[in-house]
């Protein structure tokens, strides 16, 4: 079967790059941090902390979907267009020596394969981080989300239940961050792996 790759819309890529703060330090070797986790597991918190510690450019799929699609359908075609643009933006940032954090669920191997290929193309450090939290805590977080919270994910419990069945094992070595616990120590390890200096205490 021939799989058709989605067309990358350059105006989408330009809008993403204009939105993302990519003013962090450029390094001789770029880095790509791929967060893997269910909705409400705490990925955005981890991404924000890594941005503070490393100056990384964070591409957050929920926010970028809102940027590109004011009227969202969450259809397969919409998601393909979104991630084609996100991947193209990541590719451009890595080519410039940036450290990039992708904040998206990335639950399946087919979603992670293009990211591995991209990192290999630019000889970038590739760091996988599985973000977790207890099921009961995730359900509380989802229940407490405000419908008026336009800055957060729009996923609800039904989306969470559906996505739980899509989790595929991460075969590569990876860090695990449990956001129900103190996350500072493991984030310090990740930041050091990326070649970043820790903030002054």
Q: What is the pLDDT of residues 106-153, one digit of tens each?
A: 999 999 999 999 999 999 999 999 999 999 999 999 988 755 454 456
pLDDT at 189: 96
Whether the CB-CB separation of 95 and 74 falls below 8 Å is answered with no
pLDDT at 155: 72
Residue 52: which residues within 8 A CB-CB, separation 6 or more? 199
pLDDT at 112: 96
DSSP state of 80: H
pLDDT at 200: 37
Rounded to whole angstroms, the Cα distance separating 182 from 195 reads 22
* Core vs surface per residue 115-153: b (16+ CB within 10 A) or e: beebbeebebbbbbbbbbbeeebbeebbeebeeeeeeeb
Q: What is the CATH code for 32-193?
A: 3.40.50.300
Q: Which residue ranges make up each domain of the chain?
A: 32-193
The tokens for 25 are 């330090």
> For residue range 2-13, what is the model confidence (pLDDT) as tens digits?
445 678 899 999
Between β-strands 31-36 and 99-103, what pairing exists: parallel, antiparallel or unpaired?
parallel
The tokens for 165 are 């069945």
- The ranges of the chain with pLDDT < 70 are 1-5, 22-25, 146-154, 196-201
Rounded to whole angstroms, the Cα distance separating 72 from 198 reads 38
Residue 19: which residues within 8 A CB-CB, separation 6 or more? 63, 64, 67
């Amino acid at each position: 079967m021939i799989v058709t790759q989605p067309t990358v819309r350059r105006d989408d890529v330009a809008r993403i790059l204009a939105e993302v703060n990519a003013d962090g330090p450029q390094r001789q070797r770029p880095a790509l941090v791929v967060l893997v986790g269910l909705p409400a597991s705490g990925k955005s918190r981890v991404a924000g902390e890594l941005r503070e510690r490393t100056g990384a450019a964070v591409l957050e799929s929920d926010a970028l979907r809102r940027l590109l699609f004011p009227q969202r359908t969450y259809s397969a075609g919409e998601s393909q267009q979104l991630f084609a643009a996100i991947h193209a933006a990541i590719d451009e940032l890595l080519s410039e020596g940036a450290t990039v954090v992708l904040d998206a669920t990335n639950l399946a191997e087919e979603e992670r394969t293009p990211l591995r290929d991209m990192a290999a193309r630019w000889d970038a450090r590739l760091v996988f981080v599985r973000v977790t939290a207890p099921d009961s805590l995730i359900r509380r977080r989802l229940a407490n989300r405000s419908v008026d919270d336009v800055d957060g994910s729009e996923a609800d419990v039904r989306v969470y239940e559906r996505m739980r069945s899509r989790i595929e094992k991460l075969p590569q070595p990876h860090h695990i961050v449990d956001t129900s616990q103190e996350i500072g120590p493991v984030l310090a390890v990740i930041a050091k792996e990326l070649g970043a200096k820790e903030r002054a205490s």
